[in-house]
Amino acid sequence: MVAFGRRDESEPVFSVTPYEVSGEVDYDRLIRQFGFKTINENLLNRLASLAGDLHPLLTRGVFFAHRDLDVLLDTVERGGEFYLYTGRGPSGHVHIGHMVPWVLTKWLQDRFKVRLYFQLTDDEKFLHRREMRLSEARSMAVENALDIAALGFNPELTLIFRDTDLIRVLYPVALKVAKRLTLSTVKAAFGFSDETNVGLTFFTSIQAAPAFLESELKGRPVPCLVPLAVDQDPHFRLARDVAPKLGYPKPSILHSRILRGLRGEAKMSSSDPRSAVFTTDSPDEARRKIMAAFTGGRPTVREQRELGGNPSNCAVFEYFRALFEPSDRRLEERRLACVSGNLICGECKAELAERVTKFLVEHQRKREAVRDMLDRFMDPAKFGL
Amino acid sequence: MVAFGRRDESEPVFSVTPYEVSGEVDYDRLIRQFGFKTINENLLNRLASLAGDLHPLLTRGVFFAHRDLDVLLDTVERGGEFYLYTGRGPSGHVHIGHMVPWVLTKWLQDRFKVRLYFQLTDDEKFLHRREMRLSEARSMAVENALDIAALGFNPELTLIFRDTDLIRVLYPVALKVAKRLTLSTVKAAFGFSDETNVGLTFFTSIQAAPAFLESELKGRPVPCLVPLAVDQDPHFRLARDVAPKLGYPKPSILHSRILRGLRGEAKMSSSDPRSAVFTTDSPDEARRKIMAAFTGGRPTVREQRELGGNPSNCAVFEYFRALFEPSDRRLEERRLACVSGNLICGECKAELAERVTKFLVEHQRKREAVRDMLDRFMDPAKFGL
């Protein structure tokens, strides 16, 4: 998924790869260009009748596209098994945007009681970040694992692992993938050049491996469902291409939108601390960042009262929609209050700050509470590995 | 070390890389082009006074070049530590030609009582050979390990390992190497293209890793000496380039010539069974191959008697020189008898066949005898791994 060129002057340039997200992301164009399918009513109904309900991230379109979710639902409807796989690149602390796919993954695990492989790509972040030492990536991975465990995954059904720890298991599968991927293919998918290092071009094989691991271990095809932020799709586009050649089922994918940065950027940035609320921020820091956030508001309160705001281009509304307003009704009330000019950005931000800081206090407490359980989460023996 | 182009019409084309050896190898040109040093009298004398004697592979020029052997000898003369590292790509059974670097490595271990890492690159062979399954490469690696152990290495000081078994230890070091190697660099060194798979371009990092492993494990610089066949040099040229950036000492290298195939090819070929005597051949098979070998002889016995043979372009003489004539005096007698026309190829081959079959019978007995010891040879725990 290389950077997009403009087809004509009216189409803005944007880029969505694991190594660059920039510009105003056009989700419809992503769907067209990469052959995703939209998550339609029929699929949501099928999922609802299997799961008992639907998560707001699905009904509100934060998860906006999929690959072969229908195939996975066929399997589940027939009583077949599947497992979940998602991940995190431990380049720094976790921010709110990272949690979107994890929250849906937890919901899926709760509903279907299935295994989850949670990959921490310490190898990738070391390879990608010029100044990062491997020991730093490994330490940060453990920090991130605390945030993941704090979300309440089932410790018996969830294996959180660093690539460098599980490499003995991943490597043989990764080799099979790597043998089927040429340099041309990964260059095209990730926008790599001959100046890219040989570790990063190999890495996609390591990210593919967990999508095939249960099939490999059990010696029979076990379908895998991967909820992810859409910038990670290129890894799985390649993994899906090689899967049939290796006798594995193609992983099914659920794509989430990328929460924009608090300053309006295409993606929250770990390198600009003002761009995101991190799980390790103090409530005060979080409040300050949110109060300074980019919104869809007007330059002045008077204009806002007269013309209304634009919640569809607003980082603050996006936070409410994705994670901080459980009630559909109240979310719609907030939207209407914004567009009608009744709700001023200052108020709206203060209300978000209230909810985010409350979440942070609770999350940080849980994050400490799971510290003693981390060994259980990270013990591959429970999966027979 | 890409395939060589002709500089002018008088310079023949040849190629020496881990993935292709072809044409008539010009060792002087290799030395010039890649900055090897020849192994001169002074170095041999220094080595002899440390080791107590010299191995014929050194005095007869089968090991013809080095990188930083002098630096290693400086260390040893000061009482410093070092270790040995060599390897084998388990693409098939072992043939006589493979053993040349191993025989010198054993001699070095005997004389200096140092650790040896013996790498079996099951990953590489799987990645390189289109039709090979990973399980085949892994099985063949164990077969090859029997041949290695049968040579009499010290089981307490020797770790024979498959990459896929030791990857947990190798991978973090390989990542550090990989981060410093661009695709351009490995393309130039190995003659890879954009159609090469991403596993093979990464692999050189895995081959580099054992050269740094003792330094990594002990947390101090531990020099490494790598005896190898010259076609493996590109891996270590790159490893030496990155070593200082990673704080490791550059490995010192000893380069052996490549024994030509019995049919006169640049290198014995595992895919043409007539081209080499394999350690698993029956004495009859071995004899038949040797009796059909390419020699430096004349078309007819009469011409041979009149003009003499050419031992410097003769697979049979090369075998005597490298492995099957311990006495320098008798080797020289054989050479003179050949060039003077007194020794006819038929006789000479029969004498070689006699020695090779005797070796094979003994080797095959040892090969079975070490089967029970293989776990000891392959147990990384003895090195604290």
d(CA B43, CA A228): 60
Given pLDDT bands bounded at 50, 70 and 90, which one contains residue A24? confident
In this complex, do B199 and A175 lie within 8 Å of one another by their Cβ atoms?
yes
For the record, the structure tokens of B262 come out as 């019995």
Instruction: Give one word for B333, left, alpha or beta, with left for phi > 0 and alpha for psi -120 to 50.
Output: alpha
Furthest-apart CA atoms within chain B: distance in Å = 66
pLDDT digits (tens, 9 = 90+) for B246-285: 999 999 999 999 998 898 887 777 677 888 999 999 999 9
Q: Given this model, what pLDDT does residue A213 score?
A: 98
Contacts of B182 in chain A (CB under 8 A): 194-198
In this complex, do B183 and A196 lie within 8 Å of one another by their Cβ atoms?
yes
Q: Given this model, what pLDDT does residue A267 score?
A: 77
d(CA B133, CA A218): 19
Given pLDDT bands bounded at 50, 70 and 90, which one contains residue A9? low
Compare CB distances from A198 to B165, B176, B183 and report the shortest one's residue: B183
Instruction: Give one word for B20, left, alpha or beta, with left for phi > 0 and alpha for psi -120 to 50.
Output: beta
d(CA B26, CA B33): 11
Count Cα atoms within 13 angstroms, Cβ side, for A324. 23
The answer on pLDDT for A221 being more than 60 is: yes
In this complex, do B127 and A172 lie within 8 Å of one another by their Cβ atoms?
no
> Mean pLDDT across the stretch B105-121?
98
**Helix H or strand E segment including A123:** helix A122-128
Compare CB distances from B179 to A126, A172, A186 and report the shortest one's residue: A126
What is the distance in angstroms between the Cα of B341 and the nearest Cα belonging to chain A? 53
Contacts of B204 in chain A (CB under 8 A): 198
Chain B interface, Cβ < 8 Å to A: 123, 126-127, 134, 164-165, 167-168, 171-172, 174-176, 178-184, 186-187, 192-202, 204-205
For the record, the structure tokens of A150 come out as 């704090």
Residues in chain A: 385
> Mean pLDDT across the stretch A3-9?
46
CATH classification for the domain delimited by B15-262, as one of 3.40.50.720, 3.90.950.10, 3.40.50.620, 3.90.105.20: 3.40.50.620
In this complex, do B181 and A198 lie within 8 Å of one another by their Cβ atoms?
yes
B273-369: CATH topology = Tyrosyl-Transfer RNA Synthetase (1.10.240)
What is the distance in angstroms between the Cα of A179 and the nearest Cα belonging to chain B? 5
What is the distance in angstroms between the Cα of A123 and the nearest Cα belonging to chain B? 7
pLDDT digits (tens, 9 = 90+) for B284-334: 999 999 999 989 889 898 999 999 999 999 999 999 999 999 999 999 999
For the record, the structure tokens of A153 come out as 């995954």
In this complex, do A183 and B201 lie within 8 Å of one another by their Cβ atoms?
yes
Residue A382 neighbours by CB under 8 Å, 6+ apart: A156, A159, A376
What is the distance in angstroms between the Cα of B197 and the nearest Cα belonging to chain A? 4
The answer on pLDDT for A4 being more than 50 is: no
In this complex, do A178 and B197 lie within 8 Å of one another by their Cβ atoms?
yes
Mutation choice for B interface testing from A124, A138, A162, A175 by most B CBs within 10 A: A175
Amino acid identity, residue A111?
R
Compare CB distances from B178 to A168, A192, A199 and report the shortest one's residue: A199
Given pLDDT bands bounded at 50, 70 and 90, which one contains residue B5? very low
Q: Given this model, what pLDDT does residue B24 score?
A: 84
Compare CB distances from B167 to A167, A178, A196 and report the shortest one's residue: A167
Contacts of A181 in chain B (CB under 8 A): 197-199
Rounded CA Rg of chain B: 21
Given pLDDT bands bounded at 50, 70 and 90, which one contains residue B379? very high
Residue whose pair of structure tokens reads 């490791």 in the numeric block? B248
What is the distance in angstroms between the Cα of A295 and the nearest Cα belonging to chain B? 40
Contacts of A182 in chain B (CB under 8 A): 194-198
In this complex, do B172 and A164 lie within 8 Å of one another by their Cβ atoms?
yes
**Helix H or strand E segment including B303:** helix B301-307
CA-nearest of B310, B115, B300, B102 to B222 is B115
What is the distance in angstroms between the Cα of A245 and the nearest Cα belonging to chain B? 13
Furthest-apart CA atoms within chain A: distance in Å = 66
Contacts of A164 in chain B (CB under 8 A): 168, 171-172, 175
Given pLDDT bands bounded at 50, 70 and 90, which one contains residue B9? low
Compare CB distances from B198 to A126, A183, A193 and report the shortest one's residue: A183
d(CA B234, CA B227): 14
> Mean pLDDT across the stretch B340-363?
97
β-sheet bridge partners, residue A16? A21
Q: Given this model, what pLDDT does residue B10 score?
A: 60
pLDDT digits (tens, 9 = 90+) for A299-358: 898 999 999 999 999 999 999 999 999 999 999 999 999 999 999 999 999 999 999 999
| Contact status, residue B254 vs residue B73, Cβ threshold 8 Å | no
Compare CB distances from A171 to B164, B176, B194 and report the shortest one's residue: B164
Count Cα atoms within 13 angstroms, Cβ side, for A8. 1
pLDDT digits (tens, 9 = 90+) for B46-76: 999 999 999 999 999 999 999 999 999 999 9
Given pLDDT bands bounded at 50, 70 and 90, which one contains residue A22? confident
Taking one residue from A and the other from B, the number of pairs with CB-CB distance under 8 angstroms is: 114
The answer on pLDDT for B7 being more than 80 is: no
Q: What is the pTM of this model?
A: 0.95
Give just the sign of the alpha carbon dihedral B153, B159, B165, B167: negative
Give just the sign of the alpha carbon dihedral B123, B124, B128, B131: negative
Q: Is A95 helix (H, G, I), strand (E, B) or coil?
A: strand
What is the distance in angstroms between the Cα of A239 and the nearest Cα belonging to chain B? 13
CA-nearest of B19, B18, B142, B92 to B279 is B92
d(CA B94, CA B369): 17
- Domain residue limits, chain B: 15-262, 273-369
Chain-centre distance for alpha carbon B371:
23
Q: Given this model, what pLDDT does residue A323 score?
A: 97
pLDDT digits (tens, 9 = 90+) for A155-175: 999 999 999 999 999 999 999
Residue B56 neighbours by CB under 8 Å, 6+ apart: B62, B326, B328
Q: Given this model, what pLDDT does residue A51 score?
A: 98
In this complex, do A197 and B176 lie within 8 Å of one another by their Cβ atoms?
no
Compare CB distances from A175 to B127, B165, B201 and report the shortest one's residue: B127
Contacts of A174 in chain B (CB under 8 A): 199
Contacts of A141 in chain B (CB under 8 A): none
Model ipTM? 0.95
Contacts of B196 in chain A (CB under 8 A): 182-183
| Contact status, residue B227 vs residue B202, Cβ threshold 8 Å | no
> Mean pLDDT across the stretch A137-143?
98
Q: Given this model, what pLDDT does residue A11 score?
A: 63
Q: What percent of chain B has pLDDT over 90?
A: 88
Q: Given this model, what pLDDT does residue A147 score?
A: 98
Q: Given this model, what pLDDT does residue B21 score?
A: 87
Q: Given this model, what pLDDT does residue B6 score?
A: 42
**What letter would DSSP give residue A251?**
P
What is the distance in angstroms between the Cα of A232 and the nearest Cα belonging to chain B? 19
pLDDT digits (tens, 9 = 90+) for B192-243: 999 999 999 999 999 999 999 999 999 999 999 999 999 999 999 999 999 9
What is the distance in angstroms between the Cα of B165 and the nearest Cα belonging to chain A? 7
